[in-house]
Each structure stands twice: as C-alpha cells, then as structure tokens.
Amino acid sequence: VPLGSAEEVFRGVAGAIGDRLRRLPDGETGARSDWIVWQYPLFSSRPQFEMGPPGESSYRALPQLRLRAGVDTSGLAFDELGYAAAALASYETFARLKRDGAIPAGCRFLVSLPTPLAPVSAFVALEDQAELEPVYEAAMQAEVERIVAAIPADQLAIQWDARYEFAMLEGAIEVWFEDIGWVPFDPTPAQAPSAAQAASFTPLSEVGCAPRGGQKDKLTGKHRAYMSGYTACRGAHVGA
C-alpha cells in the first residue's frame, strides 16, 4: 500500500470499509514495499554466494546468486528474516487502534508472508535452489512460530503468497524438483492437480497451514496469483 506507515494503512482502510472489514494487513510499507526484494540482501551478504546475471526466474532482474565452487554450506543459516519483527511491531499499532475503536472489534490482523519457495527461486540459481530452500524454510518456520506465539490466535490471520508456485505449475519458471506436471494457462476452470503438482505445495503446508500449539482460532489463507515479467497478468485467483 503506497502509504507512509502501518498506522496510515490501518486508519485509512478501516475508515473506508468500517465494520465490513474482517482482516486487515499493515500494507507492507517502507522496506517491504516491493514484496520480497527486501530479502535479497539476506542472501547476497552471505560469503558463500557470488553474483551472476539475472535468470529467467529472477525477481526485478536482480543479479542471480550462485554458491561459490567448493564452498562448505553446512554452516549456512539465516538468522531473523525480519517478518516476525515487522508483524509484531505492526500488531502493537493494530491493537492500540482497535482498543481506541478505530478498527472494528471483529477484525483480525493479517500477516502476509511469501512461501519459502519464492525468495529462493527468485534470487538463487536453479542448480543451487534445492540446497538453499530447506535452509530458508527453517528460518521462515521460526518466524511463523514467533508470530503465533506473540499474537493471540483470535486476533491473527496469516496469508501465504503463492505467486511462484502457480508460475511453476504453468511452466513459466523452471524448478529443481521432478515432474511437476506442466499445465498451460487456461482461463477456464482447471483440471484437478496431479499428485506431483500437489506435492509441489508441500513446503507451503508444512510451514504454516496446520494449526498447532493451541492455535485453533488462527486463520490461514493462500494468495494464489502471479504476474508475468514481460506481459500483463496471466492468471490470478485469490482464495483462503
């Protein structure tokens, strides 16, 4: 949302929609304004990587990162990704405005997260993605655990942005795993996904779709959309 802060987003949206509002995100303002781009330095700052030209799956034509030849990746890890810190800071504002009556009582705070597949596919060379995806997934898991531990379940909703997954299903982006079962884009209702296609979403379900630890009231949804880097929107669907 092109506003200056989470508070501006909360006040603006709540003021316009009122008690019809059920879930309210913070707008991903500031450093997060261009979706996953703010995660790129977490990868590029690691000494295990070297930069190359952008690849077909690169986001915003950023230099693609490759593991240096012979590098030891056993100690490679990501500390804080920043998503939990941003969510908790925004929730403080959300909770305050809700107490003050500026946000409807029945509205939940919505946290939007990229699937682990997205930054890895966007920033890392294809031949190194299989090695990096579990590392980033573990870090994202920790972010989610921190979020659900700090925000009351009945105040929280989590949305997973599955942009890259649908591009992969349509064959627009190469993948490191086998037989995803390419599906050419068709504006008519799609056929049921194959077992291989369903398996491609395993990281999405493993990281955050299943309630646990007493989080039965937490809502989890998926934002299924993607934009072609060269043309207009090829296909978009939003679901929860």
pLDDT in tens, the chain (240 residues): 989 999 999 999 999 999 999 999 999 999 999 999 999 999 999 999 999 888 777 778 889 999 999 988 888 999 899 999 999 999 999 999 999 999 999 999 999 999 999 999 999 999 999 999 999 999 999 999 999 999 999 999 999 998 888 888 877 888 887 655 544 444 444 444 444 444 444 445 455 443 334 445 555 554 445 443 322 223 333 333
* pLDDT for position 179: 53
For residue 134, give Cα distances in angstroms to 49, 127, 131: 17, 14, 7
Tell me which DSSP letter residue 82 carries: S
Selection from 81, 50, 78, 48 nearest residue 64 by Cα: 50
**For 193, left (φ over 0), alpha (ψ -120 to 50), or beta?**
beta
Helix, strand, coil content of the chain in percent (nearest 5):
40, 15, 45
* pLDDT for position 140: 96
Using alpha carbons only, give the angle 182, 188, 189 rounded to the nearest 5 degrees: 75
* pLDDT for position 59: 78
Q: Which two tokens stand for residue 21?
A: 């509002």
* pLDDT for position 217: 58
Find out whether 103 and 155 touch, Cβ atoms under 8 Å.
Answer: no
* pLDDT for position 82: 97
Q: Which two tokens stand for residue 220?
A: 């989890």
* pLDDT for position 163: 85
Find out whether 140 and 205 touch, Cβ atoms under 8 Å.
Answer: no
Radius of gyration of the chain (CA): 19
How many residues appear in the chain? 240
* pLDDT for position 60: 81
Collapse the DSSP code of 111 into the 3-class scheme (helix H, G, I; strand E, B; otherwise coil) and give the result: strand
Collapse the DSSP code of 221 into the 3-class scheme (helix H, G, I; strand E, B; otherwise coil) and give the result: strand
Find out whether 62 and 41 touch, Cβ atoms under 8 Å.
Answer: no
